Amino acid sequence: MRREYDVGHLHLDPDFGLHHPCTYDIPITRELKKGQIMPMKAAVVREHGTVKIEEVQIPEPGRGEVRVRMVATGLCQTDVMVCEGGFPATLPVVLGHEGAGVVDSVGPGVTGLAIGDKVLMTIVMCCGYCFQCERGDGELCETLAPMAMTSAMLDGTVRLHDSAGVELHHSFCQSSLAEFAVVPQEVVTKVRDDAPLDLLCVLACGATTGIGAVLRRAKIEAGAHVLVVGAGGVGLAAVAAARLAGASTILVSDPEVHRRDVAINMGATHTIDPLENDLVAKAFELTGRGMDYAFDAAGAASTFDQSLAAIRAGGEVVLLAIHALTDAVSVPVLAMLLQKRVTGSSQGSIKPHTDLPILVDLVMSGKLALEPLIARRVGLDELPGAMSDMQKHPGRTVVVFPPADV
Ligand SMILES: [Zn+2]
Ligand SMILES: [Zn+2]
Instruction: Give pLDDT tens digits for 156-184.
Output: 999 999 999 999 999 999 999 999 999 99
Q: Which fold has domain 209-348?
A: Rossmann fold (3.40.50)
* Angstrom distance (rounded) from CA 65 to CA 78: 24
Residue 315 Cα, ligand 1 centroid: separation in angstroms?
A: 27
pLDDT at 232 > cutoff 70? yes
pLDDT tens column, 271-307: 999 999 999 999 999 999 999 999 999 988 899 999 9
Percentage helix, strand, coil, to 5, in the chain? Answer: 30, 25, 45
Residue 372: per-residue pLDDT: 86
Residue type, 352: P
Burial (0-12, 13-18, 19+ Cβ within 10 Å), 303: buried
Residue 37 Cα, ligand 2 centroid: separation in angstroms?
A: 36
* Angstrom distance (rounded) from CA 22 to CA 101: 14
Residue 176 Cα, ligand 1 centroid: separation in angstroms?
A: 12
Residue 389: per-residue pLDDT: 85
* Angstrom distance (rounded) from CA 37 to CA 180: 14
For residue 264, how many other CB atoms are within 10 A of its CB? 16
More confident residue, 63 or 136: 63
Of 377, 381, 383, give the one whose Cα is nearest residue 198: 377
Q: Looking at mean pLDDT, say which of 176-180, 342-346, 401-405 comes out highest.
A: 176-180
Q: Which ipTM did the prediction report? A: 0.94
Residue 13 Cα, ligand 1 centroid: separation in angstroms?
A: 40
Tell me the Cα Rg of the chain. Answer: 22
Residue type, 120: L
Residue 381: per-residue pLDDT: 96
pLDDT at 25 > cutoff 60? no
Q: Do domains 5-190+370-400 and 209-348 have the same CATH topology?
A: no
The arithmetic mean of pLDDT across residues 120-145, rounded, is: 88
* Cα 186–Cα 129–Cα 122 angle in degrees, nearest 5: 25
Question: Long-range pairs for 269-272 at CB < 8 Å and ≥24 separation?
Answer: 271/231
Q: What band does 378 get if pLDDT is binned at 50, 70 and 90? A: very high
Ligand nearest to the CA of 202: 1
CB 227 within 8 A of CB 254: no
Residue 88: per-residue pLDDT: 86
Residue 148 Cα, ligand 2 centroid: separation in angstroms?
A: 13
CB 176 within 8 A of CB 67: no
Phi, psi (degrees; rounded to nearest 5) at 46: -105, -25
Ligand nearest to the CA of 130: 2
* Angstrom distance (rounded) from CA 342 to CA 44: 37
Q: What band does 36 get if pLDDT is binned at 50, 70 and 90? A: low
Ligand nearest to the CA of 121: 1
The arithmetic mean of pLDDT across residues 118-145, rounded, is: 88
Residue 138 Cα, ligand 1 centroid: separation in angstroms?
A: 18
Give every CB contact of residue 341 below 8 A, 6+ residues apart in sequence. Answer: 314, 315, 316, 317
Residue 207 Cα, ligand 1 centroid: separation in angstroms?
A: 9
Residue 205 Cα, ligand 1 centroid: separation in angstroms?
A: 5
Architecture of the domain spanning 5-190+370-400: Alpha-Beta Complex (3.90)
Residue 349 Cα, ligand 2 centroid: separation in angstroms?
A: 13
Residue 390 Cα, ligand 1 centroid: separation in angstroms?
A: 14
* Cα 183–Cα 71–Cα 109 angle in degrees, nearest 5: 25
Ligand nearest to the CA of 126: 2
Q: What percent of the chain has pLDDT over 90?
A: 67
Of 44, 80, 379, give the one whose Cα is nearest residue 232: 80
Residue 402: per-residue pLDDT: 80
Q: What band does 190 get if pLDDT is binned at 50, 70 and 90? A: very high
Range in 12-21, 232-241, 329-338 with the lowest mean pLDDT: 12-21
The arithmetic mean of pLDDT across residues 182-196, rounded, is: 94
Specify the 3-state DSSP secondary structure of 303.
helix
Residue 21 Cα, ligand 1 centroid: separation in angstroms?
A: 33
* Angstrom distance (rounded) from CA 118 to CA 112: 12
CB 67 within 8 A of CB 59: yes
Residue 80 Cα, ligand 1 centroid: separation in angstroms?
A: 10
Pairing of strands 225-229, 291-296: parallel
The domain segmentation of the chain, as residue ranges, is 5-190+370-400, 209-348
* Cα 347–Cα 348–Cα 351 angle in degrees, nearest 5: 85
Q: What is the mean pLDDT of the chain?
A: 87
Burial (0-12, 13-18, 19+ Cβ within 10 Å), 131: exposed
